[in-house]
């Protein structure tokens, strides 16, 4: 019988596993997609850092070019002032040259008049006539001296005129040369200014391109982050569905196993009772002296009825008796009354020899975190399911608990979740755990996680909280 129950349970679990495997396969695909998305997000952030660094370098170069451009513009303004000053000097020089030329022309006219007068007076004989007409030697010398002074003055004026003309011409030439040089320098600075401005414009355009790339990369990063969040949420949903499916499959397997066990037990008892009746019937047969069977049916039935009446017992069909998966007699509807179980548990607890506290239970239970989950198992080291784990932990403290999670829902005394203390049982539909305090539980979770600690005791709907200690 046990083999049939085990085979049936395994078949149910395998059927449920096939359903769950589809969800698990989708989980694996999503985790792979999540890993790729995470890599893409990291690459995008790295690209954004590179773009930001390149943009920063460009901005530094633009700042330096702006500084150079300002320096060149200042130089251009200075040169414009120097050129303006040179132009003023050239104008002044031209004015001086005009004055000198005017003085030259006047002096030339005076010299022409003196030469003309001298010629009109006889040319070379004028000097001789002037000396003859002199009254005395003193007058002659005076006239000669005056004439000489006149010639010397004319010579001086001529030399001064020549020097002035030369000086003015030299200044004009120098100023024009300086102006040309300044104009050339100005043109050079203006070319530098143009080139610097072109470089600044190019780098600003490149900086704008970097800015656009950074904005696009930021958009991509946001999309990858949103996709990553969606994938994470989907994985969590699928994981929750898978765990719920596993728990439901285990619960159904437990119920089906209990039902089958009860049916098998009832069938075996019926067969045993039938055999016993046959044996009883064969013993009640009497024989005559010739070896023929004597019919005492009426008497035996009457006797049986009388015995039944005397004992006050009604006949009970073996078909009305059902057993759970562990061979315990249960009600015909395959349930255990909460009141009956609490009375039973109360008497069991009174007779148990417990010493310790809820914290001691928790400390003991947490030693086995990481050990495997085995459906139907009760070994804290080699593997246990949720109810087997709870049963084995409390057995260490002398407290006897029933085997199934459904029966354990009626153990001890019920308290509210708000008043839960370490060591209390947290009962769910088809699952049970030991409360650790601060919203945490230790339990045999599933075949994937094994015995573990969960941070949220209310991750599933809580059916009951039972206090045993």
Query: Known catalytic residues?
Result: 386, 431, 443
A 10 A CB-CB count for 281 gives: 11
Largest Cα separation within the chain, whole Å, is: 231
Name the packing angle between helices 125-132 and 137-284 (round to 10°).
130
3-state helix, strand, coil split of the chain in percent (to 5) is 70, 10, 20
Closest CA to 91 of 23, 146, 184, 168: 168
The whole-angstrom separation of Cα 140 and Cα 131 is 6
The whole-angstrom separation of Cα 289 and Cα 311 is 35
The whole-angstrom separation of Cα 248 and Cα 19 is 12
As given in the structure block, the two tokens for residue 257 are 């196993």
Contact 466, 449 (CB under 8 A): no
Name the packing angle between helices 137-284 and 2-120 (round to 10°).
170
| HSE-CB of 407 using CA atoms within 13 angstroms | 25
The whole-angstrom separation of Cα 307 and Cα 246 is 53
CA angle in degrees (0–180, nearest 5) for 251-255-258: 140
Pairing of strands 425-428, 462-467: antiparallel
As given in the structure block, the two tokens for residue 118 are 């001298």
């Amino acid at each position: 019988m046990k083999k049939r129950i085990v085979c049936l349970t395994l078949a149910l679990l395998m059927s449920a596993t096939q359903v769950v495997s589809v969800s698990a396969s989708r989980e694996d695909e999503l985790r792979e997609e999540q890993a790729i998305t995470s890599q893409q997000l990291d690459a995008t952030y790295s690209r954004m850092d590179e773009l930001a660094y390149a943009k920063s370098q460009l901005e530094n170069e633009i700042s330096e070019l702006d500084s150079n451009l300002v320096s060149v513009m200042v130089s251009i303004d200075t040169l414009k002032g120097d050129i303006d000053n040179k132009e003023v000097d050239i104008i002044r020089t031209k004015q001086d040259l005009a004055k000198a030329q005017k003085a030259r022309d006047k002096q030339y006219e005076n010299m022409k008049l003196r030469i003309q007068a001298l010629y009109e007076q006889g040319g070379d004989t004028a000097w001789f006539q002037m000396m003859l007409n002199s009254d005395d030697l003193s007058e002659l010398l005076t006239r000669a001296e005056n004439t000489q002074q006149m010639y010397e003055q004319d010579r001086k004026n001529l030399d001064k005129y020549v020097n002035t003309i030369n000086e003015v011409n030299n200044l004009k030439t120098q100023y024009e040369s300086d102006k040309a040089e300044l104009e050339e320098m100005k043109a050079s600075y203006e070319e530098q200014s143009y080139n610097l401005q072109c470089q600044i414009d190019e780098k600003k355009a490149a900086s704008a391109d970097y800015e656009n790339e950074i904005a696009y990369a930021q958009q991509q990063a946001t999309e990858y982050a949103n996709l990553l969040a969606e994938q994470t949420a989907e994985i969590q949903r699928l994981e929750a569905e898978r765990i719920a499916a596993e728990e439901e499959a285990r619960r159904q397997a437990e119920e089906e196993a209990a039902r089958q066990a009860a049916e098998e037990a009832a069938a075996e008892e019926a067969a045993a009772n039938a055999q016993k009746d046959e044996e009883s019937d064969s013993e009640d047969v009497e024989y005559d002296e010739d070896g023929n069977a004597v019919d005492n049916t009426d008497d035996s039935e009457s006797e049986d009825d009388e015995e039944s009446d005397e004992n006050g017992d009604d006949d009970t069909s073996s078909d009305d008796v059902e057993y759970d998966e562990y061979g315990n007699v249960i009600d015909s509807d395959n349930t255990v009354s909460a009141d009956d179980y609490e009375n039973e548990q109360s008497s069991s607890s009174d007779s148990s020899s417990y010493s310790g506290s809820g914290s001691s239970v928790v400390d003991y239970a947490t030693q086995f975190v990481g050990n495997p989950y085995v459906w139907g198992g009760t070994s804290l080291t080699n593997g246990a399911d949720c109810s087997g784990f709870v049963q084995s932990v409390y057995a260490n403290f002398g407290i006897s608990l029933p085997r199934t999670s459904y029966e354990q829902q009626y153990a001890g005394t019920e308290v509210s979740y708000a008043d839960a203390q370490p060591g209390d049982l947290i009962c769910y539909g088809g699952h049970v755990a030991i409360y650790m305090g601060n919203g945490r539980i230790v339990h045999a979770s599933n075949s994937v996680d094994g015995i573990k600690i969960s941070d949220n005791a209310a991750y599933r709907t809580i059916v009951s909280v039972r206090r045993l200690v």
